[in-house]
Amino acid sequence: RMTLIVVNQAEEAMLDLVLAVNYTLRLYKTDVTLGLTQAQKDALTESSFVEATFTGYAGAALTGGSWTTTPGNPATGSYAMQTFTSSADQTPQAVYGYYITRTSGGALQWFEPFPGPVIFEFNGEYYEVTPRLTLADTGD
């Protein structure tokens, strides 16, 4: 069996291609990964997530080509910080992480759970998310 070796600069070029399209960053309010195996997590789709609904919430548009990519092991892509802010006092809502969908078609691309739930209850409460994607060397 032969081994394919992708060099760091090519990993960055691949990220540039992946991150050239428009995405939407969304917060989710269910602990979607609770009790799931890795295979079950890999099979999740956009319909697996329940999007946040706290007052003031809206998904954030991520413009293709506006990511900063860096070669290395791993190669990384990051987007400017996005801030989600409650605009009213309300019933507490727990948010468990963010997920990224393609703007065109809405297909799930990736997601990241927060270290613990973030609660939105009072006017002015906010949470900041810096979307990122890494491409690392692994053996298959």
Tell me, letter by letter, the H, E, C secondary structure of the chain. Answer: CCCCCCCHHHHHHHHHHHCCCCEEEEEECCCCCCCCCHHHHHCCCHHHCCECCCCCCCCEEECCCCCEEECCCCEEEECCCEEEECCCCCCCEEEEEEEEEECCCCCEEEEEEEEEEEEECCCCCEEEECCEEEECCCCC
CA–CA separation, 83 and 72 (whole Å): 28
pLDDT of res. 6: 80
Peptide bond preceding 92 in cis form (omega within 30 of 0): no
Phi/psi region, residue 81 (left: phi>0; alpha: psi -120 to 50; beta: rest), is beta
* pLDDT of 61: 98
pLDDT attached to residue 138: 66
Output the pTM of the full model: 0.90
Structure tokens at 135: 């491409």
pLDDT of residue 63: 97
Mean pLDDT, range 74-92, rounded to an integer:
96
What pLDDT score was predicted for residue 29? 97
Instruction: Mention every residue, 6+ apart, whose C-beta is less than 8 A from residue 124.
Output: 85, 86
The percentage of residues in the chain with a pLDDT greater than 70, rounded to a whole number, is: 97
